[in-house]
Structure 1
Amino acid sequence: MESNPSTKTSFLTADGLSLAVDLRHPSGQPTLLFAHGFGQTRGAWNAAAATMARQGFRCVSFDSRGHGESDRIAGGDYHMEQFVDDLLGLARAQPEPPILVGASMGGLLGLVVAGEVRPSPFRALVLVDITPRWETSGVERILAFMQAHPDGFASYAEAAEQIAAYLPQRRERKSEQQLRPLLREGADGRLRWHWDPALLAGGLVSESERYQPRLLAAAAKVDVPVLLLSGERSDVVSHRTVDEFLALVPHARHAEVAGATHMLAGDANDAFTAEIAGFIASLETADVPADAAKQPATRC
Structure 2
Amino acid sequence: MVSASSIEKTVSRAASVDGLELAVEVRHPAGAPALLFAHGFGQTRGAWRGASSALAAQGYRCVSFDARGHGESDWLPGGEYHMEQFIGDLRVLAHAELHKPILVGASMGGLLGLMLAGEIDPDAFRALVLVDITPRWETAGVERILAFMQAHPDGFASYAEAAEEIARYLPHRGGRKSEDQLRPLLREGADGRLRWHWDPALLGGELVRESERYQPRLMAAAAKVVVPVLLLSGGRSDVVSRDTVDEFLKLVPHAEHVELPRATHMVAGDANDAFTREIARFVGKLSSPDRSDAVTA
Unaligned stretches of 5+ in structure 2? none
Give the corresponding residue for 2:263.
Answer: 260
Within a 5 Å distance, the mapping from 1:90-105 to structure 2 comes to: 90-105=93-108
Equivalent in 112, 116, 124 of residue 121 of structure 1: 124
CA offset digits 1:100-158 (Å, max 9, x no partner):
00000000000000101344210000000000000000000000000000000000000
1:19 aligns with 2:25: no
Say which is worse superposed, 198-207 or 101-110, in terms of deviation: 198-207
TM-score calculated relative to the size of structure 2: 0.95
Identity of aligned residues (%): 72
Give the corresponding residue for 1:8.
Answer: 11
Q: For 2:152 and 2:255, how far apart are their aligned partners in 1?
A: 39
TM-score calculated relative to the size of structure 1: 0.95
Give the corresponding residue for 1:290.
Answer: 296
Within a 5 Å distance, the mapping from 1:92-241 to structure 2 comes to: 92-241=95-244
Give the corresponding residue for 1:273.
Answer: 276
Give 2:108's aligned amino acid. Answer: M
Q: For 1:113 and 1:192, how far apart are their aligned partners in 2?
A: 32
Give the corresponding residue for 1:294.
Answer: none
- SS of the residue aligned with 1:273? helix
Say which is worse superposed, 59-68 or 200-209, in terms of deviation: 200-209
Give 2:69's aligned amino acid. Answer: G
> Could you tell me how far 1:206 is from its partner in structure 2?
1.2
Give the corresponding residue for 2:250.
Answer: 247
- SS of the residue aligned with 2:210? helix
Q: Is the 8 Å Cα contact of residues 227 and 279 (structure 1) preserved in structure 2?
A: yes
Q: For 1:250 and 1:190, how far apart are their aligned partners in 2?
A: 49
Q: For 2:14 and 2:171, how far apart are their aligned partners in 1?
A: 35
1:66 aligns with 2:69: yes
Q: For 1:167 and 1:192, how far apart are their aligned partners in 2?
A: 18
Q: For 2:71 and 2:8, how far apart are their aligned partners in 1?
A: 19
- SS of the residue aligned with 1:173? coil
> Could you tell me how far 1:28 is from its partner in structure 2?
5.4
Give 2:55's aligned amino acid. Answer: M
Give the corresponding residue for 1:296.
Answer: none
> Could you tell me how far 1:173 is from its partner in structure 2?
1.6
Q: For 1:118 and 1:59, how far apart are their aligned partners in 2?
A: 21
Say which is worse superposed, 180-189 or 199-208, in terms of deviation: 199-208
Give the corresponding residue for 1:295.
Answer: none
Q: For 1:28 and 1:272, how far apart are their aligned partners in 2?
A: 24
Q: For 1:258 and 1:79, how far apart are their aligned partners in 2?
A: 33
Instruction: Indicate the RMSD between aligned Cα atoms, in angstroms.
Output: 1.2
> Could you tell me how far 1:201 is from its partner in structure 2?
1.6
Q: Is the 8 Å Cα contact of residues 27 and 63 (structure 2) preserved in structure 1?
A: yes
Say which is worse superposed, 202-211 or 244-253, in terms of deviation: 202-211
Q: For 2:264 and 2:172, how far apart are their aligned partners in 1?
A: 8
- SS of the residue aligned with 1:290? coil
- SS of the residue aligned with 1:282? helix
> Could you tell me how far 1:171 is from its partner in structure 2?
2.4
Say which is worse superposed, 207-216 or 101-110, in terms of deviation: 207-216
Q: Is the 8 Å Cα contact of residues 122 and 225 (structure 2) preserved in structure 1?
A: no
CA offset digits 1:210-234 (Å, max 9, x no partner):
1101100000000000000000100
Q: For 2:291 and 2:85, how far apart are their aligned partners in 1?
A: 31
The number of equivalent residue pairs is: 291
Q: For 1:201 and 1:191, how far apart are their aligned partners in 2?
A: 20
Give the corresponding residue for 1:85.
Answer: 88
In structure 2, the CA distance between the partners of 1:279 and 1:221, relative to structure 1 (3 Å rule), is same
